[in-house]
Structure 1
């Protein structure tokens, strides 16, 4: 259980590098066009993996995969919609409220089952979220209330998606198959959206090709790591470790783009790291006592 949950760290690192590759493309391609290329890369690579290893894409849990894929695609669509309506820091802070929803969810479940509530993990998540807020410094005006509420809806929708992943994990559905169906939906959504909203696909430059390949590799690996983490590991620990994408991104920005970090941001990132360490130790001790997590 513990090893599976640490896949969340790998996912955070992959998605941080993915964001760096997107930035390297210098905005040459449209957002939905990037979604198309990102998803298409996953479809192709997983398809080749399946063919090489004589595996099957047929699943007895088609509806479960479709629910996860469609909800995930809707989540991405709504998130991209809000990116243009809210300051970036505010948008990302609201998106990162998913772990808070998850903590409340688990506390309610524990009370309903008359079990011990995961207060220590919930506290670690609150501390990590406080670090996120310090780093990103969210703010919005009254006319941004609707997109802010949509952003919170996306965060709550992500909670439902993680539970769907967990259910597929319990059914022993392999992570690569779950990601394959999700990337199929993303490919269709990105392609249709690119032609409806952005005037279709464009011929990428050499820099864009490099960015697309790097983004595709990181996105596919990140999705597989995320799926393994939530489907087979401790969901609360995975969500708390997901905050580590912020310090990872800061380090990558410093190394690749020479971007500096403020003292306040360093304090926030320290809180995120401390929260992740505390959540990891708490989970390990609980497993040592033989306590089974709620999920």
Structure 2
């Protein structure tokens, strides 16, 4: 089980590649165009998977799917927009604060259900947001207020996605169907928004075809690796490995774009990495303890 959690490292690496290709695409395409092409590749793949596995396309839970698709599609569009304005490592570090926002949802849910609050979890989460402030402070290298706002918006939407996925998982909804609807929503939203825009669709040259396909293919591979990790791997190791994407993105920014985060930004990335991983592990332990006590 522990070895299979290494698939989470592979997932983070390919999510980084997706962000890398998306950043390249932002110089030529709008954010919603990138959403469209990325989702189109995923939709074709997921349709083939569902037909092969004989998974029905209909669902009894349209509202949870609608919430997941809306949050997920907006999350990726905001993430691409942030990548256009921010250095790769900084943008990805901010997006990984979605795990910390999810912990806030978890804490609020515990308070609403009058369950005891895990104060160490609160402290670690607060430290993580301190790391975000170190990264996204005025005067930081590559700081852009609009980009930071979009990155934080993407993080919030990402936390909403995670919460919606919990709801769908509790209804035993197949993962394949969940991803299929997400890709379908991305295709529809990306096409409609781009077609209605003033610029419309841009020409796809052979040179630009590579990064566009890179966004879609790397996203599909990342989704497969992440699904395998969460299905067969150790959940605590998965939560720790999940934040390796910050390191991958920082290194990619240095090697491909010549980015060099300053000392405070690097410290903030390290804090987000450590606190996010610790908070995720602590949440899993709390949920396990609650499940055992209620059994």
**Structure 1-normalised TM-score?**
0.73
Instruction: Provide the rounded CA distance (Å) in 2 between the counterparts of 1:87 and 1:293.
Output: 46
- Counterpart of 1:202 in 2: which secondary structure? coil
- Counterpart of 1:292 in 2: which secondary structure? helix
Aligned length: 288
Cα offset for 1:97? 5.8
- Counterpart of 1:60 in 2: which secondary structure? coil
Instruction: Provide the rounded CA distance (Å) in 2 between the counterparts of 1:40 and 1:98.
Output: 25
Q: Deviations over 1:215-263 (max 9, x none)?
A: 1022234456678899999999988976554332101222334433333
Instruction: Provide the rounded CA distance (Å) in 2 between the counterparts of 1:48 and 1:274.
Output: 38
More displaced stretch, 3-12 vs 180-189: 3-12
Instruction: Provide the rounded CA distance (Å) in 2 between the counterparts of 1:112 and 1:183.
Output: 33
- Classify 1:284/1:62 alpha carbon distance in 2 versus 1 (closer, same or farther; 3 Å): closer
Q: Which residue of 1 aligns with 2:170?
A: 170
**8 Å contact 2:103–2:283 — kept in the other structure?**
no
Q: Which residue of 2 aligns with 1:110?
A: 110
Instruction: Provide the rounded CA distance (Å) in 1 between the counterparts of 2:122 and 2:279.
Output: 9
- Counterpart of 2:291 in 1: which secondary structure? coil
- Counterpart of 2:199 in 1: which secondary structure? coil
Instruction: Provide the rounded CA distance (Å) in 2 between the counterparts of 1:87 and 1:23.
Output: 9
Q: Which residue of 2 aligns with 1:292?
A: 291
More displaced stretch, 173-182 vs 48-57: 48-57
Q: Which residue of 1 aligns with 2:21?
A: 21
Instruction: Provide the rounded CA distance (Å) in 2 between the counterparts of 1:203 and 1:20.
Output: 21
Instruction: Provide the rounded CA distance (Å) in 2 between the counterparts of 1:235 and 1:117.
Output: 22
Unaligned runs of 5+ in 1: none
More displaced stretch, 239-248 vs 65-74: 239-248
Q: Which residue of 1 aligns with 2:133?
A: 133
**8 Å contact 2:25–2:211 — kept in the other structure?**
yes
Q: Deviations over 1:58-90 (max 9, x none)?
A: 22323322332234334555x379759x96489
* Aligned CA-pair RMSD: 4.5
Please give the residue correspondences for 1:99-248 in structure 2 after superposition, counting only pairs within 5 Å.
99-138=99-138, 156-222=156-222, 244-248=244-248
More displaced stretch, 115-124 vs 187-196: 115-124
- Counterpart of 1:55 in 2: which secondary structure? coil
- Counterpart of 1:259 in 2: which secondary structure? coil
Cα offset for 1:291? 4.2
**8 Å contact 1:131–1:269 — kept in the other structure?**
yes
Q: Which residue of 1 aligns with 2:30?
A: 30
**Structure 2-normalised TM-score?**
0.73
Instruction: Provide the rounded CA distance (Å) in 2 between the counterparts of 1:254 and 1:168.
Output: 38
Cα offset for 1:180? 0.9
More displaced stretch, 223-232 vs 66-75: 223-232
**8 Å contact 1:128–1:275 — kept in the other structure?**
yes
Instruction: Provide the rounded CA distance (Å) in 2 between the counterparts of 1:68 and 1:284.
Output: 22
Instruction: Provide the rounded CA distance (Å) in 2 between the counterparts of 1:108 and 1:235.
Output: 22
Unaligned runs of 5+ in 2: none
- Counterpart of 2:218 in 1: which secondary structure? helix
Instruction: Provide the rounded CA distance (Å) in 2 between the counterparts of 1:6 and 1:64.
Output: 30
